[in-house]
Amino acid sequence: MTLGSQHEKPVYVRLRETIADAILAGRYSDGDPLPSVRAFAAEQSANPLTVAKAYQGFQDEGLITVKRGVGMFVAPGACARLRDSERSRFVKEEWPAVRERMRRLGIDPARLLEQENA
């Protein structure tokens, strides 16, 4: 991904990616509260309605739960589900381009792994 393509994405998609990355990185675990719409909007310099749209998408997918009057929480199993969907997306959408670039550059995957483990 290039920087240019990152900024071509709608804001709510970038916000969703930010939240998903935080869950995958362990900053928010299953059952943890998420920042309020207003707090996250202020943190990201985004419109609260845009943040609400991003959160709504996660709620629709069952990745966050809402406790009325209390807040939003990471749903049980959300991290595992996100990891599975991100793996699938990587293999289908990103890996072919990475594999092709490695081929063009003459990078041997086995040697690359050996260097990483050395």
Q: What tens-digit pLDDT sequence spans the chain (118 residues)? A: 344 445 688 999 999 999 999 999 999 999 999 999 999 999 999 999 999 999 999 999 999 999 999 999 999 999 999 999 999 999 999 999 999 999 999 999 888 888 877 6
What letter would DSSP give residue 33?
A: B
Nearest alpha-carbon partner for 55 in 93, 46, 90? 46
3-state secondary structure of 116: helix
Nearest alpha-carbon partner for 29 in 87, 86, 83, 89? 83
Tell me the backbone φ, ψ of residue 76, rounded to 5 degrees.
-55, 135
Tell me the backbone φ, ψ of residue 87, rounded to 5 degrees.
-60, -45
Fold of the 3-117 domain = Arc Repressor Mutant, subunit A (1.10.10)
Structural domain boundaries of the chain?
3-117
Q: Which two tokens stand for residue 34?
A: 């998420």
Q: pTM of the prediction?
A: 0.77
